[in-house]
Amino acid sequence: LDFAAALKEKSRERIREHNRQLRRREREEEERRKEEEKERQDRALKMAPQIEAHRRELARRAAELFRKDRVDKEQTALERDQAVSELRERQRKYATPEGIKQIRAVSPQAPPSAASARR
């Protein structure tokens, strides 16, 4: 009877020890996870000024590219308008009276010339 009780007690003691070891491992694992998280946060805080500076630089570059693109588009539109205007001037300058009538018939937005206003 004492032998069975001793075996039972020894078995309980092994189970308690095993459970203690499990709890200790879980505690150590949790501490390790917390330490890793703390290190990640520390690195993030340490890098924050550099990251913010990089973000500002990218925003500055994007704004500069946007301005350049807008200026290029405006310049292209201006050049196109000038080319069209010069072409119309040349056409008016060298147009025959019949050609002028054709141009006016095709493009009614052209302002009437002084000669046609006198008729």
How much is the pLDDT for 110?
44
- Is residue 1 classed as helix, strand or coil in its secondary structure? coil
Lookup: tokens for 29: 């694992």
How much is the pLDDT for 112?
53
Rounded mean pLDDT of 91-105? 74
Rounded mean pLDDT of 6-29? 96
Lookup: tokens for 14: 């092994």
**110, 103 contact by CB (below 8 A):** yes
pTM, two decimals, is: 0.45
* CA distance linking residue 69 with residue 57, whole number of Å: 18
